[in-house]
Amino acid sequence: MVPISIEAFVNKHCKNNPEENPNQLRKDLKQAVKDKKNGETCFNCGQEIWAIGSAVAYQSCFSCLTGEADSSEDYEINEVCWS
């Protein structure tokens, strides 16, 4: 995955989604990062969660959220971008 900072992602996402509340998104991302660090897993398949997807949608892994296996071009928050 492509590492990105929380701030950079919030800016990017809110530009594309003007109705999104940056403060809420930042808070959700911090929580998702914390959850991933704590080893939170996908409720569906048991893989580790995707912090960005979990903040934007619901707590799940990349494959279950997007239906794609290839995550090489998708963003993940830098502190938890280890796969």
Which positions lie near Zn ion, rule CB under 5 A? 42, 44-45, 47, 61, 64
Q: How far is the CB of 48 from Zn ion (least distance, A)?
A: 9
End-to-end CA distance of the chain: 7
Q: How far is the CB of 36 from Zn ion (least distance, A)?
A: 13
Tell me whether residue 61 or residue 77 sits nearer to Zn ion (CB atom).
61
Tell me whether residue 62 or residue 75 sits nearer to Zn ion (CB atom).
62
Tell me whether residue 8 or residue 45 sits nearer to Zn ion (CB atom).
45
Q: How far is the CB of 45 from Zn ion (least distance, A)?
A: 3
Q: How far apart are CA 50 and CA 48, in angstroms?
A: 7
Task: Determine whether 67 is exposed, middle or buried from the number of CB atoms within 10 Å of its CB (0-12, 13-18, 19+).
Answer: exposed
Q: Token match 């509340």: residue?
A: 21
